[in-house]
């Protein structure tokens, strides 16, 4: 269940947004950034972004998370309306402690999927229930989903969200994230 808690204006370098927070069953402080009026609209550009402290905040080059986040905000900020849902599910849902342990295993030669499995964890432990609830809360009729992840697309469609278009987020690989991106493509089916 989703319950509106508060909202505030959030001017950013990418445009004017409002930031919403909701109480939810997950007991996590997810954030929703809304640009323009999305209520009841069709074809709303939506990015569902999972938290990545190392990338989003510290600028780590081990992944493309920060680049995807910034690219999404730039794109949404140029549209008449759009939404970014920022989910607090660090490390594809395994948490910061396990993510850093996975990094250590990756430093020893494992890929991102193998590092999770070595710890007895799933390759991807995320859920998008909060995101589908938010889209329904705003009565959005259809979305243009900004993603490379086919599991995210499937989850939303299976939960009643109409996706009219996928907007790819193709980020030029670096020497630091090339193997990571290849693993996401080859082992997780990401559309890169």
The residue with greater pLDDT, 182 or 101, is 101
Q: What is the average pLDDT across 123-138?
A: 94
pLDDT tens figures, 35-68: 999 999 999 999 999 999 999 999 999 988 999 9
Mind telling me the catalytic residues? 124, 126
Q: Is residue 191 part of a domain?
A: no
Q: Is residue 164 part of a domain?
A: yes
Q: Is residue 101 part of a domain?
A: no
Q: Is residue 192 part of a domain?
A: no
CATH number for 147: 3.40.50.10990
pTM here is 0.92
Q: Is residue 161 part of a domain?
A: yes
Range of the domain at 67: 2-89+126-186
Q: Is residue 110 part of a domain?
A: no
Q: Is residue 119 part of a domain?
A: no
- Which residue in the block uniquely carries the two structure tokens 């493509």? 185
């Amino acid at each position: 269940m989703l319950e509106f808690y508060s909202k505030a204006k959030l001017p950013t370098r990418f445009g004017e947004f409002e930031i919403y927070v909701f109480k939810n069953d997950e007991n996590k402080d997810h954030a929703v950034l809304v640009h323009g009026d999305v209520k009841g609209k069709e074809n709303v550009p939506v990015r569902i972004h999972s938290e990545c402290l190392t990338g989003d905040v510290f600028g780590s080059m081990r992944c493309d998370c920060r680049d995807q986040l910034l690219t999404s905000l730039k794109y949404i900020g140029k549209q008449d309306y759009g939404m970014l849902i920022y989910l607090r599910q660090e490390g594809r849902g395994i948490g910061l402690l396990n993510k850093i342990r996975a990094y250590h295993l990756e430093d020893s030669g494992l890929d991102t999927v193998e590092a999770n499995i070595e710890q007895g964890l799933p390759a991807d432990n995320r859920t998008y229930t909060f995101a589908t609830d938010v889209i329904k809360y705003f009565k959005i009729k259809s979305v243009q989903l900004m993603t490379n992840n086919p599991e995210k697309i499937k989850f939303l469609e299976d939960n009643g969200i109409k996706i009219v278009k996928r907007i790819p987020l193709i980020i030029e690989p670096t020497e630091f994230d090339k193997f990571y991106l290849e693993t996401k493509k080859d082992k997780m089916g990401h559309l890169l």
